[in-house]
Structure 1
Amino acid sequence: MSASSLATGRAGTVLADLLPASSASRARLRDAALVAGGAALTGLAAQLSVPVPGSPVPVTGQTFAALLVGTALGARRGVASLGLYALAGVAGLPWFAGGASGWSMPSFGYILGMLLASGVVGFLARRGGDRTVLRTAGVMVVGSALIYAVGVPYLAVSAHLTAHQAVVMGLRPYLVGDALKAALAMGALPAAWRLVRR
């Protein structure tokens, strides 16, 4: 894709593509740095954690970071970034919510959901899904739904809950917060593209 295409932010590009790389080796280094940075951002956002009474799943900034990483980096780099985040946490790095690590916690399904969602929102962003407020809202809804589609059933199985209990404990308390996170993304991503076009 030409430099002029990138500068105008045409569909087929994501925000990370706008970072210059003068050669293939520098592009690989740029991508590696973006992947590591996205994982670190998600780990940092996970530490913004507020316990929810009666639920093993806290409210965190983690889901917002995961969706932002996927959208800004695109599907391939987004999945790599969230994959690195998940693998490092499973290996013992204490950067899951509240400084946790490992895979045995009931909320681990949400991390797997974030991995899936980062790829899907990155795919949609590459097709222009983050260019307007309404499109970004749709992308955030899809991404959040995918996180819950994996996280809630995982919670039900791992915590021995009924489907209804899992929804009450692992979905309902988070909808307002997710709407606020989506509103932040709806403002930030289209604004970033407007700045690029200037």
Structure 2
Amino acid sequence: MSTLSLAVGRPTLADRLISRSILTDVMLVAGGAAFVGLLAQVAIPLWPVPITGQTLAVLLVGSTLGALRGVIAMAVYAVVGIAGVPWFSDASAGWQVVAGPTGGYIIGFIVAAGLTGWLAQRNWDRKVLGAFASFTAGTVITFAAGLPWLAASLGLTLEQTLQAGLYPFIVGGIIKALLAAGIIPLAWKLTSRPKP
């Protein structure tokens, strides 16, 4: 017997914990969007710039929910933020955030969640090395969308764009990819253990 669900393809970590259905999909998507909004408010002081939990949350949501639900969760995050919920970084909200210099990163989150979710559905997230590669790819996608948007929005040269939008965030991006690569495979191990 088949249950109607937004989840397509191979099971992800969320499917390991909760059976697939439209209701659980809606709850997971809403929870994923809220999780990103919550972690976007967490800032850790680091040189040369503080890092937020926003990108880490995007990677975790994409990997946990899979490609389609991850994409929908990040689209919901963007739309609800545009509608006025102050859950973009620094509790910002509104169309001006997405239309502004950092809007490309928010659009990149949608694609990044899709990619990490797609890779998770191919079991890349079960081992640390594959998970790190997946999360690094998701981070690269975020920058690939964000940097041209930043340059066009502010009229920056290539070097100015890299100085403002990439170089200061490399260390934080690596740390987030490593954290996610530790969390998700560990979660798979913990959920795979037989119950006593």
The bucket for the TM-score relative to the shorter chain is 0.7 to 0.9
Q: Do the aligned residues in 2 keep the contact of 1:54 with 1:169 (CA within 8 Å)?
A: no
What secondary structure is seen at the aligned counterpart in 1 of 2:99?
coil
Structure 1 runs of 4+ aligned residues shifted over 2 Å read 49-55, 102-105
Identity across matched positions, percent:
46
Structure 1 residue 98 corresponds to structure 2 residue 90: yes
Aligned to 2:16: 18
Structure 1 residue 39 corresponds to structure 2 residue 37: no
Structure 1 residue 132 corresponds to structure 2 residue 127: yes
Q: Do the aligned residues in 2 keep the contact of 1:130 with 1:139 (CA within 8 Å)?
A: yes
What secondary structure is seen at the aligned counterpart in 2 of 1:156?
helix
What secondary structure is seen at the aligned counterpart in 2 of 1:93?
coil
Q: How many residues align?
A: 184
Matches within 5 A, 1:47-196: 47-49=41-43, 59-102=51-94, 103-196=98-191
Deviation, 1:51, is 8.8
CA shift digits 1:139-189 (9 cap, x unpaired):
011100000000011000111111111111100101111111111111111
Q: Are the structure 2 counterparts of residues 150 and 51 from structure 1 closer, same or farther at C-alpha, using a change threshold of 3 Å?
A: farther
TM value normalised by structure 2:
0.87
Deviation, 1:59, is 3.1
Please list every run of 5 or more consecutive structure 1 residues that lacks an aligned counterpart in the other structure: 3-10
How well do the aligned residues superpose, as a CA RMSD in angstroms? 2.3
